[in-house]
Amino acid sequence: MAKEEKIVDLEGVYVTYWNRLQHSVFLSFLLLASSVTTAFLVIAALSGHDVVSSPYQICILLVTLLILLALFFSAQFPAFQRPHFATGLSLVVISTLSVAFFLSTHIATPTRPADHVISAFILIFSINTMMPLAREIAIAISVLLALVHLLLAAFLSSEYKLSLLRQMLASSVFLFSGLIAGVYHRQMALKAHRRTCVGTRNCLESRIKLECEREQQEQLLLSVIPAYIAAEVKRSIMLKMADACQNASPAAATRFHEMYVQRHNNVSILYADIVNFTPLSEQLSASDLVQTLNQLFGKFDQIAQENQCMRIKILGDCYYCVSGLPISRPNHADNCVKMGLEMIQAIRMVRQATGCNVDMRIGIHTGNVLCGVLGLRKWQYDVWSDDVSLANHMESGGMPGRVHITEETYHSLNEKFEVETGNGHLRDNYLADHKVETFLIVSSKTPRNGDPNLPSPTSEGGSFKSIEKRTNGQPQFGIQAGRNRSSSKMTKTIECWGADKPFANITETSLAKNIGLASLSMIESNLPRSSNTFAECKQCLTSEDQNPVTLWFRKGSLETQYRNLPDTEFRYYVACATVLYICMAVIEALTATRWVVLIGSTVPTVLMLLLFVFLSWEPKCPCGQSEAEDDDEENTSHIRPPPHCSVHTSAVITNTRWLRILLFILAATVICASSLIALIDADARETIVKETNVSYTTFGNESLEDIFNSTDSTDRPVLWTKSILREEFEDSELIFVPYYLCSCVVALIAVSVFLRVDFLLKLIIMILTAAVHVFLISYAEKDFFAFYYAYDDGFPGIPFEMKTSFFLGVLICLLHIADRHTESTSRADFLWKSKLQVEQEEVETMRGINKILLENILPAHVADRFLQNLTIKDLYHERYNCIAVMFASIPNYIEFYDENDVNKQGLECLRLLNEIICDFDKLLLKPKYSGIEKIKTIGSTYMAASGLDPGKETQLSTRQEHSVVSVIVDFAIALMTVLDHINKESFQRFKLRVGINHGPVVAGVIGAQKPQYDIWGNTVNVASRMDSCGMMNRIQVTEDTAKLLMDSGYDCECRGPTYVKGKGTLTTYFVKTQFDPKV
C-alpha cells in the first residue's frame, strides 16, 4: 500500500514536471509562429507584393498574427498555465493555424496536389512536439489534419493531377513520417523526463536517508561526548583526510597521537556512590538490573540537567559529574550542592517505598580539571587532575545521606548553605594525609524542586542510623524472600520516575519518517517555475553555470562529465533515423523517374543504417545491467559499466562518446546526401533544350529567369509560358517537384532524432543540408524548378528560392528549438543531480566520520542496534555465561603525574598517558585480539573483556571457555610488552598490574543523556579486586581462572589466601610471564 502511494505521489510530481516543460515549449512555439508570420509579411512587403490585387493572404496572415500574439501574452499568466487552460490554448492555436493554412492554400488560390504539403508536415510535427496535449489527442488531431489536407489536395487541385494516386501516396508517407517523428520526439522526451524524475527522486531519497543516518549518528555521538570535543575530532579527521588526498609526506606526521583534552579552571566536581546497592543488585535479573540502573542514573541525569551539571561517567554504582564546563558558570558550587541534595531525596524515596537500605554518599570539591578523551578506541569523556582525585576521596570519606564538601567548595558557596564540620580525615587516609578540612551540608527545610514534607537526611525517619536503629542493626533485606520483595519493590518504584531510555533523544526526524514526501517536495521545489518567457530568458542569460548561447557548462570538468555520460537511448535514435530514411526512400520511389541513381544511393544507405541498428541493438551480456538499471544509470552514477561488458558492441557504443558521434555523422551524412542526390539527377536545362529545340531567344531579350521573376503579372506571358513548359518538360516529371523538398525535410528530421547529440552539431549539419539544397535548386537545376513554381500562389513576387529557403528555415528553427529545449532540460537535470551528488558525497563523508567516531565509542553491534531500530522500547541488555574480564592499571603513574607550569599543569603528563592508551588500543586492531572489547579507561586503568559476542548467550563449551580466557591473558602480556617499549623510549619505569577473572556478566546500555555501554556482575567486581590487590608486573587471577589457564598450558603460581575487599579471603594465582620479578 505504501509503495502504491509513493507511485501515485511520484506520478503527480512527474505530471507537474511534464506540464511545466510542455508549457515552456508551447510558449517557444507561439513565439516562433508569431515571428515566422511577421517575417513572412516583411518578406512579402520587401518583394513588392500587391496587396490590392490579392488581399486574402495578407488578411489571413495579419489575423493569424494577432491571434498568436494574443495567445502568447495570455499564456504568460499563471492562470493559463494550468493543464486545462493550456489544452484549450493549444486547441485554439491549432484551429487558428489550420484554418489559416487551408484558407490560404486550398481555397484562396488554385492548388496542385503536391503543393503546401510541407506546411501540413510542419503543423503535424508541431502538434506532437510543441503542444501541451495528451498523446492520443495530438495523434487524433494530426491524423484528422492529414486526411483533410489529402482530401482537399485531391479534389480541389486544378492542375498536375496526373498520377494522382502516386502523389497522394507520397504525400501520405511524408505526413506519416512527420507524425512518426513527432510522436518519437514526444515519447523520448516523456521517457527521459520520467527517468529523470524517478532518478532524481531515488537520488534525493538516498541523500535524505544518508542525511537522516548522519543526523542520527550525530545525535548518538553528541549523546556520548560533548559537542566541542566532537567538532574538534571531526576537524582533525577531515584534515587528515585532506592530507591523505594531497599525498602528504609521512615526515610531516607528528610524533605523538592527537589528544583531545582541554583545561577548565574553577569548576566543581561531584562524586556520588549508592551505598549498599551491590547486595541488592545481586538479586536482580539481567533485565531488572539494567532497568534499575538506567532508571536511577536516568533520574540523576535529569537532576544534573536541571542543575546545569554535566555527567562525566558511571563506574558501576558510582556517578560523577562536573558543573562549570564546557561553559564557565559562577554558581558551579551551588549547582553541585543542589544536585547532591536532590540525589539524596531521590534515593530516600526509593528507601521509604521499598524498605531497601540504600542511600547516597556524596563528595564535592572545587578546583581545576583536564577534560576530554584519551586513546584511539571506545572514547568516554573523562576528567583528570589532583582535584578530581580529591573529590573522589571526598565521596569515599563521606557519610550516607550527606553532602560532603571541601573548604574550597565551602568558600565558593558564599554561605548560601548551612554547614557543619565534616571530619573527613577520620574516614579516609588520603584526606588525613593531605590535611583536607571538610564540611557536611545541612539540608534546608524546603529543598529545591523537592517535597517539603519529605524528611531531611538528618531527621529520624531519614537517616541511615535511624534505619539501623529501627531494625536492630540488621538490614531489612536480610533474608532471601525479603531481598526478592525489596528488589521487586525497587524496580516498580523507580519505573514511575519515567527516566528516558538510552538514546531516547535519537528519534526519527520528520525527514526520516516521510522520506518519500520529503524527496517529492524537494523535487517540486526544483521543478521549472511557472514563469513567463521573459523571466526564462533572463534566467538563461544570467546563468552562472552555463553559457547562454551554447548551453555548455562554464566549468570544464562538469562539461566533460556531461559529455562522457553513457547514452542508453542511442539505439532508439538509430532505429528511428532508419525508419525515417525508409519513409524518404518510399517517397523517392513513388516519385522517381530514373531508378538507377535511386537504387544506387538508397540500397547502400539502408544497408549501412541497418548495420548501425544491429550494432546498437546487439544483446547485452547476462552480467550487464537490466534495462531499468540502464535507464537510471545516467541519473545515479557517472561510472561506466565493468570492462568485461564492453566487448559487446552495443555497450561500447552506449559508453563511448566519440563512437556515437562518428556513427551520427556517418548516418546524417548518408541520409542528407541521399536526399540531395535526387536533385542532381533532375533534368538539366541543356538536355531539355536540345530535345525540344527551344532556345532562350524565344522569349525575346529576356531570359527565362527574368520572365518568371517579373513582378508585373500583366506583362508575364503566363499561358504562352505554360505551353512552352509542356513542350520542354513532361507532366510526369514536373508533378513531383515538391517531393524533392520533402526528401530534404525528412532528412533534416532524421538528423534531429539523435536527441543527446550536441544540438549545435545538428544545427550545423541541418544548415549545410538546407544550403546545399537551396544551391542546387537555385543554380544547378534552377529552370527545372522555376518552371514548376511559375504560377500565382498568392505571393508571386517572392522568388521560389526564397520560399524554399523560408520553409527550410522555419523547419530548422522548429527543430532547433526542440533540440535546444531537450539539451537545456537534460543539462539542467544533470547539473542539479551533480550538485546533489556533491552534497551527497559531503553527507557521506560526514557520515563516515561519524561512523568512525561511533566505533570509537560504542561496540559496533550496539551502535547498529540503536541506529537501525529507533522504535525499540526495551533496554539493551545481554547476559553472558562466560566472559573474561581484565583490569590493567599503572599504579606508579600517580607518582609521575604532577601539576606545575613545566608540564602545563599536568597536560604533558596526560599526553604520555594518552600515548600509552593509544598503543594499547592499537593492539585491538590485530586479528588475534578481534574478540576483545575495550570497555573503558578509568584514570590509568585499562578495562577490557573477551567473549562479548552479541547474540551468543548460551553455555560455552570447555574449549571455548579456554579460548576466551587465554586470549585475554595473551592480551595482558602484550600490554606489558608495549608498556616496556614505551618505558625504553620515554625513560620511565611504569609497571602494569593486571587482574583477570571469568564468569557470567550482564552487558547493557544505561543513561539517557549520555548513554554508556558497560558490564556488571560479581565477575567484574572480582576482576577489579584482582587488580587492586595484585602486584606490579604480575597478572593475578582467581582459582577457577587459573585452572582453565593451566589446562590450556599456562604456568600459574599460587599466591595463597589473599584478602580481597568486599569478598573476604580468596585463593589467587599469578600467571607466569617474562616480566615476573627475578628472585
Q: Kindly report which listed range (46-60, 115-129, 471-485, 521-535) carries the lowest average pLDDT score.
A: 471-485
Q: Per-residue pLDDT for 473 more than 50?
A: no
Which residues have C-beta within 8 Å of that of residue 140, sequence separation ≥ 6?
none
Residue tagged active-site, from 135, 469, 926, 1061: 1061
Residue 77, all three cell numbers: 499568466
969 near 996, Cβ under 8 Å?
A: yes
Query: Does residue 83 carry a pLDDT above 80?
Result: no
The question of whether 1025 is a catalytic residue gets the answer yes
Burial class (CB in 10 A: 0-12, 13-18, 19+), 955: exposed
State how far the Cα of 602 lies from the Cα of 448, in Å rounded to an integer: 99
- Residues in contact with 289: Cβ distance below 8 Å, sequence separation at least 6, in sequence order: 281, 877, 1002, 1004, 1016
pLDDT band at 975 (very low <50, low <70, confident <90, very high): very high
- Between 190 and 9, the more confident residue is 190
Question: What pLDDT, on a 0 to 100 scale, did the predictor assign at position 576?
Answer: 94
The answer to whether the CB of 995 falls within 8 A of the CB of 972 is no
Choose among 57, 209, 202: nearest CA to 119.
57
pLDDT at residue 467 is higher than 60: no
pLDDT band at 680 (very low <50, low <70, confident <90, very high): confident
In angstroms, what CA-CA distances link 276 with 362, 473, 895? 14, 14, 32
Alpha-carbon distance of 744 to 179, in angstroms, equals 16
**CB within 8 Å of 181: residues ≥ 6 apart:** 125, 576, 580, 749, 752, 753
Mean per-residue pLDDT for 532-538? 54
On average, the pLDDT of the chain sits at: 76
pLDDT the model gives residue 446: 36
Q: Which residues contact 1018 (CB under 8 A, 6 or more apart)?
A: 282, 999
Rounded to an integer, the average pLDDT of 572-580 is: 94
Q: What is the pLDDT of residue 106?
A: 58
CA distances for 636 relative to 196, 207, 418, 631, 832, angstroms:
10, 11, 69, 10, 12
Cβ atoms of residues 916 and 926 within 8 Å = no
pLDDT of residue 1008: 57
Q: CA 477, CA 275: separation in Å to the nearest integer? A: 14
Q: Which of 100-104, 469-473, 499-503, 759-763 is the least confident region?
A: 469-473
For the chain, the farthest-separated pair of C-alpha atoms sits apart, in whole angstroms, at 148
Residue 886 parent element (H or E): strand 877-889
For the segment 671-699, the average pLDDT, to the nearest whole number, is: 56
Most confident of 193-202, 871-880, 1033-1042: 1033-1042
d(CA 207, CA 636): 11
Q: What is the pLDDT of residue 781?
A: 64
**What is the b/e burial string over 67-105, where b = at least 16 CB atoms within 10 angstroms of the residue's CB?**
bbbebbeebeeeebbeeebbeebbeebbebbbebbbbbb
In the chain, what is the straight-line distance between the N-terminal and C-terminal CA atoms, in Å?
A: 78
| Residue 63 burial (C-beta neighbours within 10 Å; 0-12, 13-18, 19+) | middle
Contacts (Cβ under 8 Å, ≥6 apart) of 969 = 996, 1035, 1037, 1045, 1050, 1071
On the question of pLDDT at 455 being above 90, the answer is: no
pLDDT at 897: 84
- Count of CB atoms situated within 10 Å of the CB of 566: 22
Is 1043 annotated in the active site? Answer: no
Q: What element of type H or E holds 611?
A: helix 595-616
Q: Report the alpha-carbon distance of residue 376 to residue 937 in Å, rounded.
A: 11
Q: Which residue has the higher pLDDT, 147 or 697?
A: 147
CB 1037 within 8 A of CB 1045: yes
Q: What is d(CA 1016, CA 795) in angstroms, rounded to the nearest whole number?
A: 101
How confident is residue 901, by pLDDT bands cut at 50, 70 and 90? confident
Instruction: Round to whole Å and give the CA distance between 1019 and 1000.
Output: 6
Residue 203 phi, psi dihedral angles, 5° rounding: -65, -45
Residue 491 is predicted with a pLDDT of 53
| pTM: predicted TM-score of the whole model, two decimal places | 0.60
How many Å apart are CA 866 and CA 221, to the nearest integer?
A: 12
**Burial (Cβ within 10 Å: 0-12, 13-18, ≥19) of residue 985:** exposed
Mean pLDDT value of segment 218-229: 72
The H helix count followed by the E strand count for the chain is 38, 16
State the Cα torsion 859-861-865-866 to the nearest 10°. Answer: 20
Residue 21, pLDDT above cutoff 60: yes
Q: Is residue 885 predicted with pLDDT exceeding 80?
A: yes
At 193, the pLDDT band (50, 70, 90 cuts) reads confident
Higher per-residue pLDDT: 367 or 290: 367
* DSSP track, 672-738: HHHHHHHHHTSPPHHHHHHHHT--GGGGTTS-HHHHHT-S-TTTS-HHHHHHHHHHHS-HHHHTTTH
Q: What is the pLDDT of residue 123?
A: 92
Tell me, letter by letter, the H, E, C secondary structure of 241-304: HHHHHCCCCHHHCCCCCCCEEEEEEEEEEEEEEEECHHHHHCCCCHHHHHHHHHHHHHHHHHHH
Ranking 458-462, 622-626, 757-761 by mean pLDDT, the lowest is 458-462
Interval 274-292 mean pLDDT: 73
Of the candidates 1025, 1034, 1055, 1063, the residue annotated as catalytic is 1025
Average pLDDT over residues 849-864: 70
Count the alpha carbons within 13 Å of 695 in the hemisphere toward its beta carbon. Answer: 3
Q: Quick one: average pLDDT of 132-155?
A: 89
